[in-house]
Chain A
Amino acid sequence: MIVASLISYAQAIVLGLLQGVSELFPISSLGHSVILPRLLGWNIHQNDPYFLSFLVATHLATAIVLLLFFWRDWVRIVKGMGRSLRDRGIAPDDHDAKLGWLLVVGTIPAGILGLLLEHSLRRVFASAESAAIFLMLNGFLLYGAERLRRRAPQTEGDDDARLAKQLGFPAAFGIGAAQALALIPGFSRAGATMGGGLLAGLSNRDAARFTFLLATPIIGAAAILKLPELFGPNGDGVRGQALVGSLCSGVTAYFAVRFLLRFFETNRLTPFALYCGIAGAICAAVIPFL
């Protein structure tokens, strides 16, 4: 089997850089990884086994970066969850424990829907044309979430305490379920989570923080679950490229999360909504003629 030229190193660098940014920006990494190869005329398709193996590596890199970035927060959260298990309840002032269980509740629907629907949804919506249309719809979703936000954001006080106070378990479950939209290439997981957070009454900054915390177990678990594919026959010929792509993805993911946390202190989802709407419309118009 000739596999050495499935993905070139140049392509791996471009796709890795793109993955790191688009996974955390609310603009759909999966949608971009479907659309970009088509726009550039690359013979790469999202359902090709070797490409899935490549994506596993880049996702794992993103998850590792997120874990390290929020490492101190995760240590506090896990300790809080341990306290709550020991005490058989969440103490009213234990914000770390509450946040930890909010993340668990948010992860359950996303994890289950992802496990059960990912394969079939990817197969049905595999084309760049549909990804472009869904990217446009993602723009409407982001804009709608900003327009329909429930109440004025609060920005005073400790981040995690504010999150734990403002967010209830039903809202966390709803936000987690909204992530399932991201199984369709073109819809953004970060966008769905941030949008859900805004509708639940979070500020843009808090919604972004909750999104990144919620993303870590989901992206990491999905990547680890598929890691054997990278080391199996499907990884033949792409492991080197996957390593390079992962490094690129990790670097851009680090800068993306730093940028977004600062960006959402004062800004909104609107610029990303505009980008998705315009880019999706242009791609939907252009791709059929490529």
Chain B
Amino acid sequence: MNTRSPLVAGLVAVAGVALIIIAIVYWAEPASSLPSFFPGHVGKQAAEAGHHHVKHGIAAFFVGLAALVFAWFQTGKKKSAA
């Protein structure tokens, strides 16, 4: 993490926010209401139509959080060992 780039920091921060929004969608919407390109989406007639993919949401949330932390480090001024 010694090489710092505002562009990378910005892109990673956007990705982090997007992942946290995706996490919220996973928690809020049942599998049948998820956008079709989301992993875990099923049709309205499927047996798991009402299932909430809580674990998918947790995974997306923590990866998003990690991305935000990475972006935060990228914007720092002090010399890093990492």
B-chain residues with CB within 8 Å of residue A104 when the two chains form the complex: 66, 69
User: Quick check: is B76 within 8 A (CB to CB) of the other chain?
Assistant: yes
Q: How far is the CA of A40 from the CA of B81 in the complex (A)?
A: 53
Count of CB-CB pairs between chains A and B under 8 Å: 57
Given the known inter-chain contacts A98-B81, A111-B59, A169-B82, please indicate yes or no for A88 contacting B66, CB distance below 8 A: no
Given the known inter-chain contacts A108-B63, A111-B62, A112-B63, please indicate yes or no for A89 contacting B55, CB distance below 8 A: no
User: Quick check: is B15 within 8 A (CB to CB) of the other chain?
Assistant: no
- B: residues with CB less than 8 A from A are 1, 55-56, 58-59, 62-63, 66, 69, 72-73, 75-82
Cβ-neighbour of A89 out of B59, B66, B73 (below 8 A): B73
Q: How far is the CA of A94 from the CA of B62 in the complex (A)?
A: 24
User: Quick check: is A101 within 8 A (CB to CB) of the other chain?
Assistant: yes
Q: How far is the CA of A115 from the CA of B56 in the complex (A)?
A: 7
B-chain residues with CB within 8 Å of residue A108 when the two chains form the complex: 62-63, 66
- A: residues with CB less than 8 A from B are 84-85, 87-94, 98, 101, 104, 108, 111-112, 115-116, 169, 225
Q: How far is the CA of A225 from the CA of B57 in the complex (A)?
A: 13
**Main secondary structure on A side of the interface with B:** helix
Jot down 7 A-B pairs with beta carbons below 8 A, ordered by A: A85-B72, A89-B78, A89-B79, A92-B81, A104-B69, A115-B56, A169-B1
Given the known inter-chain contacts A87-B76, A89-B76, please indicate yes or no for A115 contacting B55, CB distance below 8 A: yes
Q: How far is the CA of A164 from the CA of B35 in the complex (A)?
A: 42
Cβ-neighbour of B76 out of A88, A93, A101, A169 (below 8 A): A88
Which among B1, B79, B82 has the greatest number of chain A C-beta atoms within 10 A? B82
A-chain residues with CB within 8 Å of residue B73 when the two chains form the complex: 84, 88-90
